[in-house]
Amino acid sequence: GGVRSAFKELSSAVSRSRIGDALDSGAQILVTSCPFCYHHLKEAAGGKMEVKDLSLLVRDLMEG
Percent of the chain having pLDDT more than 70? 91
CB 40 within 8 A of CB 18: no
Average pLDDT on 15-40 reads 95
Average pLDDT on 3-20 reads 84
Of 24 and 10, the structure prediction assigns the larger pLDDT to 24
CA triple 41-47-53, angle to 5 deg:
45
The predicted-structure confidence for 48-57, as pLDDT tens digits, reads as follows 999 999 999 9
pLDDT of residue 8: 82
